Structure 1
């Protein structure tokens, strides 16, 4: 496919004027993809932005009011969408937690590294984690003067071998595992999992609130350089505990400590009402951090991205998509995605361009003026030119795989195989986002072409063990 992304010369010339200096960016209208309204960059000059990347955990495609939820109210995220750009076809790089996070941290397909192979990382060993020598979004931004922090869920490998502090983040406060009890802070392994850096710390505060408080404190500091904050909430990931559900927490924690390693998955718990409270609390706490940006005068020059690490779990609202977390159906990988940068992006806009997690890594590096490591080439495509310089959106194939499933999207077409050795399917996901009309028999040559492309992309990736 033709790649029509931005030219680094144009965007870097506008935005990278040194580690702490402001670069003048001449705003021009951005060319929208065919079939959608034009959206425009905001006028005026802009500094290299602070970057706030907010990642929800297992949030479903339509769990926000602005994406169609009939019951859950999310006024803060809805306001974020109104004040920026809402993507209708945003995707996660993986169908479960850690592969997507590895893609965000590295800008590459999850299976470029052993860290991206587990689905998800669930054990302490020397293999399953992001190697400290691998460049990351944080380490590359540090080379151009950014201060970096990760608050919340890391899920890139366990101590003693792996840590955000060894992969480019200046500071870390949060959990190493894929999930933990919201009050006791015990993980699925039955061990305490709350750390300040690499030192364990104690807190019985509801975890979503604790993370938000720590993020607000970071935002309110006096910063002398632009900063990156990866704010990785665990909400609304199981266990199904809303604020105040301490009795539920005690029950789940007791089962964990008794040796039930599946207790945290909470198969006998939760409800639609509990889930609503969890998502609405997440929205409130995101609003808390966004308010700190505004009150400290940083809102205009902070680029905020909000997304989820994969599709929704069993209480999520995903209509009209089919499938949930762990599936390569649309409901497992299409996620709410919102971008706001008041200095450069006009408010109230919607984009139907397909974008995927590792695109954001490439985009943020380009906007900040950081160069990827040539020994670790990116798989994501920068959207900087599309967003800021009037370029057409990059045209390329989007690729996914799990141990059993495969998918590739090209334009409106999605090639899908849901079981190893299973039958190839073809869907027009623009007309049929629910993936109900299998058009493979009508377009056998296209199926063959997309299958061959999937095989070509997959060939150099690491095999599952």
Structure 2
């Protein structure tokens, strides 16, 4: 009898103090904005826009000052984060709008995330997670690419790259299924109210139903992508702004409010200490189409200046990560896959093909070096490489440019003529990387490459003449 009492006491203490117990799997919530400006958040320094919930999230966790997407436009950057690989390695080029494609490759609804690629949602399902996507997919319109066939148990959103924030007319044949709201697979139904609010509400319902088990939420807002649509109540909160800038501020406020409702739901269910939360944006802000502010960066969406590829980024895990800190080494969207998978199970072996790294040892101070010595970008014949703090941008129709990002964040002091040896060195390294890539599955019509250059030049900061 005494032996049984001692054994029961030992078992009780083991449970009470976690001895011999597997680490509790954290819930994972990844929140992604669409086409937001680098400077259009309070935690990024904006005094015009109101983002109190994201500002609080930043103070509760870590703000990354040099976070990069793997592409300057949304489809490819999402392909990179979902697979943990440079998307060019499986032919997913840095172009994503079917109507602008060359006839030499895959076109229309056949464009999508190749079926032989594994997503982070599929990997998390293997670890026992319930997975959900709310909002924008943009990884292929055809049924074979559907989120519920790529690892997501639950889907509420739209298959395409953008859509109205207001309900579509279900009787209008021009409103294709790729743009309509869909719940599950093939169940197309339009929402009521403002879409940004609806997406957060659906995410909250998912939390309520799945709070007893580990879950992964990919909350993929279409905010603040065009069309420029905001409610009258939100517009009224920015009397000092006008035009697109006013509408963008109102749309950003609505997104921040929706995120606040999500965070409130996590807290109300007692899940805050067991939930890893990440917020970011899919590419640089398209200043010409929505008046986004990428200051102090040069450039805009669709080019390889910092304003096209550097994005706001917050990571918070209450009780695990430090509060109100910044992390200043470059990181990549490619790091999300291994970071999430290791958070789900720190004993799991990461796939050898990944280009990203688990960020946790770095942000916790267990590793002091850079997560990445070198990062790459490629869009048709345009490409860029960042090696340490030096960044080379290659063009098909003009000389390459070289910048020291550590002391020239605005990329105004071109060092290419002063350091031709560095230009040659980085060219060679970039070429070597390109040799590892697959042939693009689709390509942009050449006429649009010239427009990309015009867009880049229009949003540069004034250059220093050497």
TM-score range, shorter chain: 0.7 to 0.9
1:179 to 151, 162, 184: 162
Matched, 1:98 2:75: yes
Aligned to 2:239: none
Matched, 1:318 2:294: yes
Aligned to 2:311: 335
Aligned to 2:181: 194
Shift of 1:232: 0.2
> Is the CA contact (8 Å cut-off) linking 2:273 and 2:317 kept in structure 1?
yes
Which of the two has higher C-alpha Rg?
Answer: 2
Matched, 1:271 2:244: yes
Matched, 1:431 2:416: no
Aligned counterparts of 1:384 and 1:65: Cα–Cα separation in 2: 25
Aligned counterparts of 2:152 and 2:116: Cα–Cα separation in 1: 13
Matched, 1:129 2:112: yes
Structure with the bigger percentage of helix: 2
The alignment partner of 1:54 has SS state of strand
Aligned counterparts of 1:328 and 1:93: Cα–Cα separation in 2: 10
Matched, 1:454 2:430: yes
Aligned counterparts of 1:203 and 1:225: Cα–Cα separation in 2: 28
Aligned to 2:258: 285
Shift of 1:223: 3.0
Write the mapping of 1:30-69 to structure 2, written as runs, cut at 5 A: 47-69=24-46
Relative distance call for 1:237 and 1:270 in structure 2 (3 A) is: farther
> Is the CA contact (8 Å cut-off) linking 1:46 and 1:301 kept in structure 2?
no
The C-alpha deviation readout for 1:44-92, integer Å capped at 9, x for no partner, is: x963211000000001111101111120011100000000000111111
Matched, 1:208 2:196: yes
> Is the CA contact (8 Å cut-off) linking 1:122 and 1:177 kept in structure 2?
no
> Is the CA contact (8 Å cut-off) linking 2:122 and 2:150 kept in structure 1?
yes
Write the mapping of 1:241-256 to structure 2, written as runs, cut at 5 A: 241-244=229-232
Aligned counterparts of 2:391 and 2:343: Cα–Cα separation in 1: 30
The C-alpha deviation readout for 1:346-383, integer Å capped at 9, x for no partner, is: 11111111111111112111222244445xx1111221
Matched, 1:304 2:280: no
> Is the CA contact (8 Å cut-off) linking 2:280 and 2:312 kept in structure 1?
yes
Write the mapping of 1:352-431 to structure 2, written as runs, cut at 5 A: 352-369=328-345, 370-374=348-352, 377-388=353-364, 390-392=366-368, 393-417=370-394, 419-431=395-407
> Is the CA contact (8 Å cut-off) linking 1:23 and 1:48 kept in structure 2?
no
Moved more, 89-98 or 420-429: 420-429
Shift of 1:343: 2.6
Shift of 1:218: 1.2
> Is the CA contact (8 Å cut-off) linking 1:138 and 1:228 kept in structure 2?
yes
Moved more, 200-209 or 339-348: 200-209
Relative distance call for 1:436 and 1:216 in structure 2 (3 A) is: same
The alignment partner of 1:161 has SS state of helix
Instruction: Give the ranges of 4+ consecutive aligned residues of structure 1 lying more than 4 Å apart after TM superposition.
Output: 21-25, 123-126, 185-189
Shift of 1:463: 2.8
The alignment partner of 2:98 has SS state of coil
The alignment partner of 1:47 has SS state of coil
The alignment partner of 2:391 has SS state of strand
Matched, 1:138 2:128: no
The alignment partner of 1:430 has SS state of coil
Aligned to 1:33: none
Relative distance call for 1:445 and 1:95 in structure 2 (3 A) is: same
Shift of 1:23: 11
Aligned to 1:345: 321
TM-score (norm 2): 0.81
Aligned to 2:135: 152
The alignment partner of 1:300 has SS state of helix
Relative distance call for 1:350 and 1:194 in structure 2 (3 A) is: same
Shift of 1:197: 1.6
Aligned to 2:220: 232
> Is the CA contact (8 Å cut-off) linking 1:240 and 1:270 kept in structure 2?
no
The C-alpha deviation readout for 1:267-290, integer Å capped at 9, x for no partner, is: xx9511111100111111111101
Aligned to 2:268: 295
> Is the CA contact (8 Å cut-off) linking 1:46 and 1:344 kept in structure 2?
no
The alignment partner of 1:76 has SS state of helix
Aligned to 1:74: 51
The C-alpha deviation readout for 1:408-432, integer Å capped at 9, x for no partner, is: 1122111112x32431111011211
Aligned counterparts of 1:396 and 1:325: Cα–Cα separation in 2: 24
Relative distance call for 1:68 and 1:146 in structure 2 (3 A) is: same
Aligned counterparts of 2:323 and 2:168: Cα–Cα separation in 1: 38
Total equivalences in the alignment: 400
The alignment partner of 2:82 has SS state of helix
Shift of 1:133: 3.7
